Structure formats: structure tokens, C-alpha cells
Structure 1
Amino acid sequence: MEQQVILGALAIGVGFAAAVALFVPFVVVSYRVRGRLSATRLFVWFAALVYFWAIWSYTLLPLPSPETITCAGTNLDPLRFVDDVRGALGPPRATLTDPAVLQLALNVLLFVPLGFFIRLLGNRGIPTAAVVGLCVSAVIETTQLTGVWGLYPCAYRVFDVDDLLMNTLGAVCGSVIAVLIPRERRGIRAHVEAVMPREVTRGRRLLAMLCDGLGVLFAAAVTIALRAGLLYVLDDREAALGETPTTLGMLSACAVWLLLILGTGRSVGDVAVQLRYTGSDLHEPLARALRATAGAVGFGLLMVMPSPGTAAASTFVLVSIIVTLTTEHGRGLPGVASRQDVADARVRANGARAVPSIRRLGETLIRPQSPR
């Protein structure tokens, strides 16, 4: 039981790390496809990532020591499970607790979430769930059969074609269960909202700020490349472990954000959630520079300052949140500094909607049709 808890914690930890790494792309896709990001869909997406890592954790881990493994056999008879179930038949309680029956049930249940997520997040039905379930199961079984692709001299777990069948059945069952979710929540209807302007809320601005903050931190990952170059190419361990790579990495991220805002008037967070800043009595280049400095660029510069730079950056984040929550439309420090307001990027500067023709098409798609 302790081992299962450890594997579950590992799946949650890795899933959370993957969710953070993919958060900005997920927000971008959500706003382009659905026009918004809902808390429910975000939770389902996180659950799908945890589930993905849980599959690999529970089917391949823990990896045994090569000196202690016992080579496992194979089952190539696709109907062997029928004989196993027949042999387990008896009183209901004894049948349900029989290892062979439990193994079949667990193989089905393990892949039910896969079919569920495929329909809910990917808007794909039973055929896709069956194909994906079969392919994922085949990769897992083949990985076991080959001893993790040659890492071990032989397979340490049994390759079983019955597992392929039961896993595929589980994915199909998950897809059927997902049908119970209302169609509009599964993304089946045409998402006219994706191309229609929406009210700019403070929550939306906070989401843009989060995307910018994560983006700057991940863009600073060039630090890893700098450290690797210093350590493995120049063989300068002292420089590789010093502060210079970190400083250069963060400054590079700040430079990217500054050039992006100066060139387009929008940060990564603005692009992700479809926002833009409009109007100012300042010259546009100056307004954009002030916006950048009062936003992600300012945060990054404070992060590389000598002590107490980190404390200053934390204070900057706190003040930014407070100002965002207390200013109209959540324009925050960037809007205050540049004397600009924030608006939906799908609205033209003259106030006209950017995509009226698409709106009319969407209304046609979702308008109830009169019987012929």
C-alpha cells in the first residue's frame, strides 16, 4: 500500500509540473477555441495530466534492480481471460474477489478515464477512444515486453494480449460515460464565443499577469543552456554554478518581453487571453515602454537585483495584484503607468467588432432550424 501511495504522489507531482509548464499554451488554445478559460476545464485538464503520468507510474514503476529481476512470460491467447473468469465462477463474493476477475476489472477501469478525457477535452468519440486506447496499451505492453526497450535483459512484467483488449474496452466505456456530460460542456457546439468580444474582467487580467510571470520564468530557462555550456564546453565549474548565468537568463527574458511589447503593444499574457491596451495622451513608444516596465519586465529586473531584489519582486507582485483588483477593468500598474485602458483584442480601435461575419455564421449554426 505504501508503494501505491508513493506512485500516486509521484503522478500528482509530475502532473502538476507538466500543468505549470503547459499552462500558457493551454490558455492560448482555450481562448482561441472556446473564447474563455473555465475553472472546470482547467481542473479536467490538470486531472488528465495526472492521469497520464499515473498510467506510466502504475504500469512500469517501480523499476527493479537488473540483478533481481525474474524474466516474465507472455500470453498471446486473446481468449484466455474467458477461461480465467469461468474458473473464478462461484459465490458472488468469491467471484468478485478472485484475482483473475480483479485483474480484468482493473485493466478496464485503468483506461476508462482515457476515453472520458478524449471526448471531453478532444471532442472525439468512440472510434478515436478505441484506437487511442489500443495504441497506448500497445506502447505500454511493448515497453514491458522489451524490458523497457533494452534497459533490462528481459521483460520483468508479463506481456498479455488480454490487457490490450481490456484496456481498449475501458477507453470505449469512458467515451460512453462522457456522453452523459451536457453537449455544450463537451465543446461539441460551435464556439461562437471564441471570435466574439467579451467583457474584460479583473480575473482575466490576473490570468494574463500569471501567464506573463510564468512566461518570463520559463524564458529564463536559457540559464540552463548557459550553465551547461560553461560546465561541459568551457569546463568552468565555478562560473557555471555562479549567479552570472541566472542574471543573463532573466535579462534575456526581459529583453524578449520588452521587444514584444514595443513591437506589438501586447505581452504574452495579453495575447494569451485576447487583451490589448488602448488610448493614451503619451506617445505610443513611451506608453509601451512604461507598460513593459510596470509589468513583466519590471518583475524580471527586480528578480536579478542584488538583495533584497527577491523581496522587492514579491512586493511588486503584491502591489500589482492589488492595483489590478482596484482599477477599472483591472488595467493594473501597466495601465496606470501608460495612462491606457484595457480592452478585448477582438474589438477594433473604432469600437466595431472585429469579426461580424463570423458572428453571423455562428448565429446561423446555433439558431434553431424550423422543420421542413
Structure 2
Amino acid sequence: MLSSYLESIRTGFAAFVGVGVLVLLPLIALHYHRFGRVEPRRAVVLYGLLAYGLVALALIFLPFPSSLVCDGETMLSTRPFQWVTDMRHNLAANGRSGLGAVVTSTAFLQQAFNVALFVPLGVVLRKSYGRGAFAVVAIGLGISLAVEVVQYTGNLGVYPCPYRIADVDDLISNTTGALVGWMLAPVALVVPAVPHPDASTAPPHTVTVPRRFAALMVDVVILIVGTHLVFGDNLWWLVALTVAIRVVLPSATGRTPGGWLLRYRLGRADGGRANPPRVFLRELLGVTGLVTYAAVAPSEWWFALDLCVLAFVVLGAFAVPVFRRDQRGWPDLLAGTRAVPAAGRSRTAPLAPVPR
């Protein structure tokens, strides 16, 4: 029995990995549409529920039968706690008794598994979404009932008859598991609470990562075309042009060409004008630093060092900001800068601090 469970768990987790990759970009798009960023606690809970749901479904329905003989056997049990009677008969037939025999019997382990299967559901419903005991019991019962209906109908008609018994004891065990999860939720420290939408949404004057990334692409096109047409792909000219576009221009005007097109400027953390040292530090830790490193680093340097530099820039400038309300990455945080919408703002007028 344990080996079949482990195989189902592996199958469910493999399905989660595949589905998780497929829904990653739609999830990011949905979060940005609703909140203007990816709220990490919401994302963790959503992906956790996805993993839990797929593994649970695999445990409930797998393995699918390769062939099925419908002999008219009743695949429905409507007598509550029938498992207790079946366990007693089995123990008596095998001459076993005592607590050890009970807790190691197949019938008891099956019901314990059914309880444990729904414990995570109760934990998440209370800890992450603040549901009360009645709501958790109702949701657990509803989901368990839906599973039993699917099983009794041969997976909604896929099979000519059920291959697993639809059992009222499963309803009782699953619902009990959800309630146990509700009671255990306060000590489930690894499960985050989903914040209120108002605490998840980026402030209206925040320049989002997709907007900044689009502006960067504009700058990159200018750098590539300018270097190729004018300077013949010379890396040092690429560095010089990058410094001019990404450091000199923002220091003088607050904007790169991409920032001008996407209507935002580079400012201090409070929204005021960023001085040249701040801009220089930001770019040294960001795109300009990466371009300079690519130009000066000898080809025989460690590949691992190249990956570390690339990861620092990509994660720090684009991955970390996705999860922050103020959309600031490591370069902005260390330099005390951030992107500020240009429309309707004075170049030197400070803004209220943006929540993290």
C-alpha cells in the first residue's frame, strides 16, 4: 500500500512541476493586472495549493485501471463507520488484538490516511484565508463529496463502472481531517497568511517592473544598433555608449531614452532628483556594470563567476522588485533611488515614501 502511495505522490508532484511552469507567466500577468506586482505570500499559497491539489488527486484516483471488469458489484457504502466493523472482523479472523494490532491494521491506516489527506486544506483555509470552523467543515465536506461522486460515476463516465468504492466513511474522515487542520493551523508557522488586497497592491505612482523592462529593451536596441552601425561592434564603444545613455543622461535629465518613451524618470527614494553619484552607483550594480564586466572580463575567467555576476544583476534588478510593493531592486535600494512617473510630477518635488 505504501509503495502505491509513493508512486502516486511522485506522479502528482511531477504533474505539479509541469503545470506550475505552464501557469507561471499567466500567474505573473494576473497578479500584475490585479495588484501591480506579484505578492509573494499569495503566490506561495497559490502554488502550495496547486501542489497539494495535484498530489491529493493523484492519491485519490491513481492508478487508473488498464482494464476493468464490471461484474455488478455494489461500489457504494452508505453505512457510517463500516470500517470499524470490517477491522474487528479482520482482526478476529487473524487472531489479533490490542492497540498495536488496531493502529497497524489496513482499515485503520486507510482511515488515518483519509484524515491526513485533508489536514493541509484545513490549515490553509484558516491560516491563509481566515476561514472559520464551519466554513472549513463545509468546504471539506463539499470537496470530499465531489470526489466520491466522481468515483461512483466511473470518473464521470470515463469508465463503464466505478473502480473504487464511494464510501460515506471517506466523507467523514476527509471532513474530520479538514477540521483537524483548522485546529492545527495556529501552529503551522510555515504557512503564510494572505494579506488584504489593499496591502498587496502596489501604490498608484509605482513604476512596475514590466514598464521598466520595456524601457530597458528600448535602451538595449539603441545600444546594439548604435554600436553596430557607428562603432563596428567594438565592446569599449558599447561600454562608453552604455555609460552615456544609462549614467550621463539620467544624471542630467533624469531619464534614459527608454524612460522618456515609457514616461518615467530616475529619482531618489523620496521622489526628488537623483544626483550623479546615486545614478552611478545604481548603474554600477545594474545593467551598466554588467555590460562593463562583459567587456573587461577575460574569456578564461571562471564560468561560475560569470554566472554569479549575471544572476546578481538579473535577480537584483528584475526578480526581487517583482515581489516588493515599491518595485525597487538591489541597485535602487543600495543607491537610494527609484523609478518615478514623469507625467504630472515636478522633477524635484518629493513623494511620500512607498511601502515595501
What's the TM-score bracket when you normalise by the shorter of the two chains?
A: 0.5 to 0.7
The partner residue of 1:342 within 313, 318, 338 is 338
- Residue in structure 2 matched with residue 61 of structure 1 by the alignment: 62
Unaligned runs of 5+ in 1: 213-256, 263-278, 296-315, 333-340, 357-372
CA-CA distance at 1:28 after TM superposition: 6.3
CA distance in 2, matches of 1:283, 1:342: 11
What is residue 96 of structure 1 aligned with on the other side? 103
Shift of 1:33: 11
Q: Indicate yes or no: 2:126 matched with 1:126.
A: no
1:127 counterpart letter in structure 2? F
Alignment of 1:251-270 (within 5 A): none
1:355–1:184: structure 2 CA closer, same or farther, 3 Å change rule? Answer: farther
CA 1:62/1:147 → structure 2, altered by over 3 Å: closer, same or farther? same
Deviation for aligned residue 1:21: 3.4
Q: Distance in 2 between matches of 1:120 and 1:133?
A: 15
Cα distance in structure 2, aligned partners of 1:148 and 1:6: 20
1:75 aligns with 2:83: no
Q: Determine the structure 2 residue equivalent to 1:140.
A: 147
- TM-fit CA distance, 1:331: 5.4
CA distance in 2, matches of 1:321, 1:329: 13
Contact 2:124–2:191 (CA<8 Å) still a contact in 1?
Answer: no
1:158 lines up with 2:165 in the alignment: yes
**TM-score, reference length from structure 2:** 0.55
CA pair 342-137 structure 1, distance change in 2 beyond 3 A: same
Pick one of 89, 111, 119 that aligns with 1:112: 119
1:52 aligns with 2:53: yes
Deviations 1:334-353 (A, max 9, x none): xxxxxxx63488xx954323
Distance 1:66 1:103, change over 3 A: same
Q: Is the 8 A contact 1:74 1:158 kept in 2?
A: yes
Give 1:129 deviation, angstroms: 1.7
**1:36·1:194 contact (CA, 8 Å) conserved in 2?**
yes
- Describe the SS at the equivalent of 1:122: coil
Instruction: State how 1:1-372 maps to structure 2 within 5 Å.
Output: 2-24=3-25, 25=27, 29=31, 32=35, 36-37=39-40, 45-68=46-69, 73-84=75-86, 90-181=97-188, 185-187=192-194, 194=200, 286-288=257-259, 321-324=311-314, 329-330=329-330, 342-343=338-339, 350-353=349-352
Cα deviation for residue 152 of structure 1 reads 1.1
1:157-194 Cα offsets, whole Å, 9 max, x none, are: 11111111110110111111012246995357x68754
Task: Give the TM-score taking structure 1 as reference length.
Answer: 0.53
Q: For residue 108 of structure 1, report the CA deviation from its aligned partner.
A: 0.8
CA contact (8 A) 2:141 2:171 kept: yes
Q: Paired residue for 1:366?
A: none
Q: Distance in 1 between matches of 2:316 and 2:176?
A: 53
Aligned residues: 255
Does the C-alpha gap of structure 1 residues 57 and 187 become closer, same or farther in structure 2, counting only changes over 3 Å?
Answer: closer
CA RMSD of aligned residues (A): 5.0
Instruction: Judge conservation of contact 2:214–2:258 (CA < 8 Å) in 1.
Output: no
What residue identity is the alignment partner of 2:352?
R
- Match of 2:100, SS state, is helix
Displacement, 1:12?
1.1
**Residue deviations 1:19-57 (CA, integer Å, cap 9, x gap):** 33344536965994999526xx76554443222111111
Asked whether the equivalents of residues 70 and 160 of structure 2 are also in contact (C-alpha less than 8 Å), the reply is no
Whichever residue aligns with residue 145 of structure 1, its letter is Y
Letter in 2 for 1:163: D
Alpha-carbon distance in structure 1 between the residues aligned to 2:191 and 2:165: 42
- Equivalent residue, structure 2, for 1:364: none
SS in 1 for 2:338: strand
Classify 1:331/1:160 alpha carbon distance in 2 versus 1 (closer, same or farther; 3 Å).
same
Residues 56-95 of structure 1: CA deviation (Å, up to 9, x unaligned): 1111111112445665521112243453466559311111
- Rate the CA distance shift 1:193–1:283 in 2: closer, same or farther, 3 A: closer
CA displacement at 1:134 relative to structure 2: 1.1
Partner Cα separation in structure 1 for residue 130 and residue 36 of structure 2: 12
Separation in structure 2 between the aligned mates of residue 148 and residue 325 of structure 1, nearest angstrom: 44
2:122 aligns to what SS in structure 1?
helix
Query: 1:36 & 1:344 partners in 2: Cα distance?
Result: 21
Q: Quick check: 1:72–1:155 contact (8 Å CA) kept in 2?
A: no
Distance 1:176 1:344 in 2: 46
Compare CA radii of gyration and give the structure with the larger one.
2
Whether the 8 Å contact between 2:31 and 2:39 is mirrored in structure 1 is no
Q: Is the 8 A contact 2:78 2:168 kept in 1?
A: yes
